[in-house]
Chain A
Amino acid sequence: MTELWEALVTAVKLIISFDPEVMAIAGRSLAISATSSTIAALICLPLATVIHFNKFRGKRTLINIVQTLFSLPTVAVGLFVFVLFSSAGPLGGLDILFTPAVMVIGQVILISPIMLGLTISALSGIDKSIADTAISLGASRLQTAVITLREARFAVLAGLIMGFGRAISEVGLSLMVGGNIRGFTRTITTAISLETSKGDLELALALGIILIVIALIINLVLNRVQQK
């Protein structure tokens, strides 16, 4: 119990003192996950509407596959991305292994199934009569898609938040493709991993608490947007 208490105290001290290293890695976690979430959202929202509004063979199978990919282990994605961008790999020429950029790419791959699947789910929850009404009022296919997304906005946003949550909390991918380089690719989660392996459990726990606090703040902000 004292360990947890010590950790809480350390966390508060680190936050209040604006410890530069902690601020840096917290900012980096946020930046990388915010970027990957935004990119994933820009891809998945339109893709989800296309899948939802069109009938085609294998649609059910596709959705099943997407939902199966919710459970992609982060280390597996990490390994895949590593092999892809390694100097010895097909995309090695881009020279982005062990940089924040490749971490973003990996996270986009990791969270896209979730964002895609949950958005499709959200759209499916909207009665067909909404689309029918829009069409009967003269909406084009794009306008119909937009109004349906608007009607489903609560559930859609929940899916985006879920995707962001998965991105900011993952370790396996960031460790493998980022390399946990101090001052460059170290995030809160990879720092926790390092401190744990070094035996500094108190610091690791403190960082964990800081991560939860960040997630809480993000959630509160997005919730306010969700209400309107």
Chain B
Amino acid sequence: MTLIETANIGQKYAGQHILKGVSLNINRGDVFALIGPTGAGKTTLLRLLDLLEVPSSGSIYFDGMDVTGSKRLRLQARRRMTFVLQKPVVFNMSVHDNVACGLKWRGEKGAAISQRVSRVLEVVGMTEYSSRNARTLSGGETQRVAIARALAVEPEVLFLDEPTANLDPVSTSRIEEVLAHIIGEQKTTVVMATHDMSQGQRLASRIGVIMNGEILQVGSPGDIFSTPQNKEVAQFVGVENILSGVIVNRDDNLVTIDVSGSLIQAISDYHIGEEVHALIRPEDITLAPRKETSSARNTFEGRITRIFPVGALVRVEVACGFPLLIVVTKRSAQDLKLTVDKKVYATFKATAIHIIKRWN
């Protein structure tokens, strides 16, 4: 089932280590999202996986074959995959001819080409643009043509490097629709790089988080999202409350953590005396003007220090012995009459806290 496997590969450019000790495997049928901030090494890793470059250390296997060194084997394997660049480049010819290029180069003939091209243009929704010169298209349209062109040759693996990074929100959702359709219909293995965590969540079946050239965590979107393994991953996936403390009590798997004098209760297997981080997602905290009785174990009184709206939500910063960031809907913010300096009570369940070993 493993289609591509890397064993401890590294890559150097001009003396700099861009990738270190990356061991990954991509399974047939996976939709694998490689997530990380800009400069993390996503493009480099993608190019290595597509066998466009040779790693400076380690080995790569495609469909069971070691393709690290052999130029011939790499070429063979590469022909079964295609790559869509971050800023895709279209040739100075019609959309139809662009999409047909890969097929022509592989020796396909006229009628078969036309058929395949129209089918694939339909998938990406660009049928009306067939005879237009590809250079006259907008960013989103160009991206769709590039995807069509890559799909036309029916690759076993489709690589996409930040497919929506340069697009406006409307074009972005259009592309995501196309990708979702491809994933659903074509059963192609997809490997995409993105810095947008939520995009990865929407489209991928597996996620790999990469930072500073190293893979920090690989797992399903749910895993990464709710149980990030370290601080960097946590911050990247949007866990914005990272509290440092030490376990002072333990009762079965219910632990009490001392965080700057306040006591928080959470579920964990760690022992008394261990230094830990408590991770809480801003959406998992509720605010109330009065202390409410609820099943939640953790309630803290505090003062609102900052409020600012972000889109349809409102971010509220509260000081309650330790800083907390809470996210509520605009409606809630209005209903609760939230203002700076107001006294509020922040509440969160023990189960909403994710405990990881302290890292700094």
Contact = CB atoms under 8 A, between A and B. Distances in A.
A–B contact via C-beta, under 8 angstroms: yes
If over half of A's interface residues share one DSSP class (helix, strand or loop), that class is named, otherwise mixed; here it is helix
A138 B79 contact: yes
Interface in B53-89: 78-79, 82-83, 85, 87-89
Nearest to A151: B92
Contacts of A151: 91-92
Given A133-B85, A137-B153, A138-B153, A150 B105 contact: no
A64 interface: no
A151 B90 CA distance: 10
Given A130-B91, A136-B50, A138-B106, A147 B101 contact: yes
A138 B89 CA distance: 15
Interface residues of B, number: 20
Nearest to A147: B91
B150 interface: yes
Contacts of B101: 134, 137, 139, 147
Contacts of B89: 127, 129-130, 132-133
Interface of B: 50, 52, 78-79, 82-83, 85, 87-89, 91-93, 101-102, 105-106, 149-150, 153
B106 A136 contact: no
Contacts of A134: 101, 105
B83 A136 contact: yes
Nearest to B106: A138
Contact of A132 (B85, B149, B150): B85
A135 to B, nearest CB: 8
Contacts of A132: 52, 85, 89
A143 B105 CA distance: 7
Nearest to A135: B52
Most buried by B among A135, A137, A139: A137
A137 B92 contact: no
Interface string A124-166: 0001011011111111100100010011000000000000000
Contacts of B85: 129, 132-133
A133 B149 CA distance: 10
Contacts of B52: 132, 135-136
Given A132-B85, A133-B85, A138 B91 contact: no
A218 B101 CA distance: 33
Interface of A: 127, 129-130, 132-140, 143, 147, 150-151
Given A129-B87, A133-B88, A137-B149, 8 more contacts: A133-B85, A133-B89, A136-B150, A137-B153, A138-B153, A139-B105, A147-B91, A151-B91
A150 B83 contact: no
A129 B52 CA distance: 12
13 contacts: A127-B89, A129-B85, A130-B89, A133-B91, A136-B50, A136-B150, A137-B150, A137-B153, A138-B79, A138-B105, A139-B105, A147-B101, A151-B91
A132 B146 CA distance: 13
B356 to A, nearest CB: 39
Nearest to B146: A133
A84 B92 CA distance: 45
Contact of A150 (B79, B91, B149): B91
A127 B92 CA distance: 13
A226 to B, nearest CB: 13
A35 B215 CA distance: 62
Nearest to B107: A138
A137 B105 CA distance: 8
A40 B151 CA distance: 40
Nearest to B159: A136
Closest 4 CB pairs of A and B: A137-B102, A136-B83, A129-B89, A139-B105
A216 B259 CA distance: 85
Contacts of A138: 78-79, 102, 105-106, 153
A108 B79 CA distance: 41
A135 B87 CA distance: 16
A150 B97 CA distance: 13
Contacts of A140: 105
B161 to A, nearest CB: 11
Most buried by A among B87, B105, B106, B153: B105
A139 B106 CA distance: 7
Contacts of B82: 136-137
A136 B146 CA distance: 12
B288 to A, nearest CB: 55
A134 B52 CA distance: 12
A227 to B, nearest CB: 12
Nearest to B102: A137
A150 B135 CA distance: 14
Most buried by B among A129, A135, A136: A136
B163 to A, nearest CB: 15
A133 B52 CA distance: 11
A17 to B, nearest CB: 46
Contacts of A147: 91, 101
A14 B105 CA distance: 53
A153 to B, nearest CB: 8
Nearest to B50: A136
A82 to B, nearest CB: 45
A36 to B, nearest CB: 30
